[in-house]
Amino acid sequence: MESNTHSAPLCVTVITTMALTFVVEAECSVTKARSSRLTLPHTTACTPMFMPVGTQGSLKGLTPPQMVQLGCQVVLGNTYHLGHRPGAETVAAMGGLHAFSGWHGGMLTDSGGFQMVSLAKLSSVSEEGVTFASPHDGTTVLLSPELSIAMQNNIGADIIMALDDVVSSLISGPRVEDAMHRSIRWLDRCIAAHARPAEQNLFGIIQGGLDPRLRLYCLDAMIARDTPGFAIGGLSGGESKDEFWKMVHLCTQHLPADKPRYLMGVGYAQDLVVCSALGVDMFDCVFPTRTARFGKALVREGELALKHKRFATDLSPIDADCGCYVCKTFTRAYLHAVVKSHTGAQLISYHNIAFQLRLMADIRAAIEADALPGFVTAYMQTRFGPNVPQWIVDALFAVGIELDFATATPVAWPLPVAADFAAVVASEPGPPVAVDPADDGLAAMDL
């Protein structure tokens, strides 16, 4: 099998603004994976990295010193929720989210766009922005690109996200194309509104649903805006994994090699491994802490449901190979006994974050040793045995890793190129598609 080849040099350095330096320090000779150093105002992070989600600036059940102990590099905050409580102005008056929360590492804030999907019944979208009804008291607020950026400037994160028009990945039809074009127009408004470019890095978000034609159009338009980094949005929302990996592969193939690539909302361990091989640098997800609150601990083989009675007398740690405080101190039997309490949720959350961060460190080490294919093969064999899901087999095959032990036969997927769609992609978008507010902002969708 032919190995993947790359034109990018071994070390690519870019200083996009005063607020970001990105250095690619090692590249896998087979896949698209790279190990990089991302310098931000509050931290220097090593990528590929996983960023835990602290919706209101802190991880549930974990203190900032514990996050430092775990080796967290960047933590997420959510502009929509912070705007509701305690309010962006309040955060700014307290010196920004770093001072307010006591976390002095890296921070990234989402724009609030994802709430267009997660709170669809409380929102409607127009060219002006997205109108939300407060889940607390029913009052409405228009979140425009300008307001989203102003709030994020007040919050003070190292990386801020453009407000995009987000539709569910299960949607098809004209609404997806309209949202993609609107996301480009909104990015222009975000760039114009950004008041702190020397202190905060504004990332554009690639949209286009599951349509390669739309993704390529959006990639071309957003790359031309030359933001300090780019996110891949609109995925991990219920679409098939076969569709998911193809869109990730397509995006990383075209995104600039000298800028960080952020895949939004992805946190399952096998997805982190596969998408690192596909060339992604940054990931985030609520999964490790949310699943901990349901009593599930992460291990290389999958998950341990610690509520199960079989753990009641198990005196082993969650993971004998994990050196985190929880695994060095507590048994599965103890965690089973406290699993329904706040203490149990906190301890399992601690371990799950440690698991995710250790996995990413292992991926980086494998890239730096140019041994990623062997690492990925061993990981998948431990996780699945011969029954590796077809999508993983195909995704890894696309970047030069063939899992010989897997029962599934790889199916090749030729990467689409812009020329494939030259006859159907207009050079300029047409007029915006009207969205009926009575339809919760989801008009023209095939549900």
pLDDT tens digits, one per residue of 168-211: 899 999 999 999 999 999 999 999 999 999 999 999 999 999 99
Last residue of a domain, one of 235, 250, 285: 285
| pLDDT, tens digit (0-9, with 9 covering 90-100), for 268-315 | 999 999 999 999 999 999 999 999 999 999 999 999 999 999 999 999
Among candidate residues 165, 178, 284, 319, the one labeled active-site is 284
Residues 249 and 330 in one domain: no
Q: What is the share, in percent, of the chain residues with pLDDT greater than 90?
A: 75
Q: State the pLDDT at residue 115.
A: 63
Is 375 among the annotated ligand-binding positions? no
Residues 201 and 281 in one domain: yes
Residues 89, 140: Cα–Cα separation, whole Å: 18
| pLDDT, tens digit (0-9, with 9 covering 90-100), for 369-424 | 999 999 999 999 999 999 999 999 999 999 999 999 999 999 999 999 877 776 44
Q: State the pLDDT at residue 88.
A: 80
Residues 253 and 311 in one domain: no
Residues 229 and 258 in one domain: yes
Average pLDDT, stretch 64-73?
Answer: 96
Is 190 among the annotated ligand-binding positions? no
Average pLDDT, the chain: 89
Whole-model pTM over 0.85 = yes
Is 118 among the annotated ligand-binding positions? no
Q: State the pLDDT at residue 111.
A: 87
Residues 296, 304: Cα–Cα separation, whole Å: 5
Tokens of 32: 């698209």
> By the 8 A CB rule, do 33 and 3 touch?
no
Among candidate residues 110, 178, 271, 394, the one labeled active-site is 110
The mean-pLDDT minimum among 116-130, 309-323, 343-357, 426-440 falls in: 426-440
Residues 362 and 225 in one domain: no
Q: Would residue 418 count as lying in a domain? A: no
> By the 8 A CB rule, do 276 and 34 touch?
no
Q: Would residue 54 count as lying in a domain? A: yes
If you write DSSP's letter for every residue of 173-218 in order, what string do you get? SHHHHHHHHHHHHHHHHHHHH-S-TTTSEEEEEE--TT-HHHHHHH
Is residue 132 classed exposed, middle or buried when 0-12, 13-18 and 19+ CB atoms within 10 A define those classes? buried
Is 96 among the annotated ligand-binding positions? no
Last residue of a domain, one of 322, 350, 370: 370
Strands 296-299 and 229-232, sheet pairing: unpaired
- pLDDT category at 110 given cuts 50, 70, 90 is very high
Number of domains in the chain: 2
Residues 129, 165: Cα–Cα separation, whole Å: 9
Is 316 among the annotated ligand-binding positions? no
Q: Would residue 343 count as lying in a domain? A: yes
Residues 303 and 247 in one domain: no
- pLDDT category at 434 given cuts 50, 70, 90 is very low
Is the pLDDT score of 148 beyond 80? Answer: yes
Q: State the pLDDT at residue 212.
A: 96
The mean-pLDDT minimum among 114-118, 220-224, 261-265, 323-327 falls in: 114-118
> By the 8 A CB rule, do 147 and 193 touch?
no
Q: Would residue 203 count as lying in a domain? A: yes
Residues 174, 46: Cα–Cα separation, whole Å: 39
- pLDDT category at 432 given cuts 50, 70, 90 is very low
Q: State the pLDDT at residue 427.
A: 43
Q: Would residue 318 count as lying in a domain? A: yes
Residues 71 and 102 in one domain: yes
Residues 351 and 221 in one domain: no
Last residue of a domain, one of 285, 307, 337: 285
Q: Would residue 10 count as lying in a domain? A: no
Q: State the pLDDT at residue 80.
A: 79
226 is catalytic: no
264: domain range? 48-285
- pLDDT category at 84 given cuts 50, 70, 90 is confident
- pLDDT category at 121 given cuts 50, 70, 90 is low
Which element (helix H / strand E) includes 335? helix 332-338
Residues 159 and 218 in one domain: yes
Residues 209 and 343 in one domain: no
Is the pLDDT score of 117 beyond 70? Answer: no
Residues 253, 274: Cα–Cα separation, whole Å: 15
Q: Would residue 19 count as lying in a domain? A: no
Residue with tokens 């397509």: 250
284 is catalytic: yes
Residues 261, 57: Cα–Cα separation, whole Å: 22
Which element (helix H / strand E) includes 25? strand 20-27
> By the 8 A CB rule, do 174 and 444 touch?
yes
Residues 87 and 226 in one domain: yes
**CATH number, domain containing residue 116:** 3.20.20.105
Residues 158 and 305 in one domain: no
Q: Would residue 41 count as lying in a domain? A: no
Tokens of 227: 């933001």
The mean-pLDDT minimum among 107-111, 249-253, 338-342, 428-432 falls in: 428-432
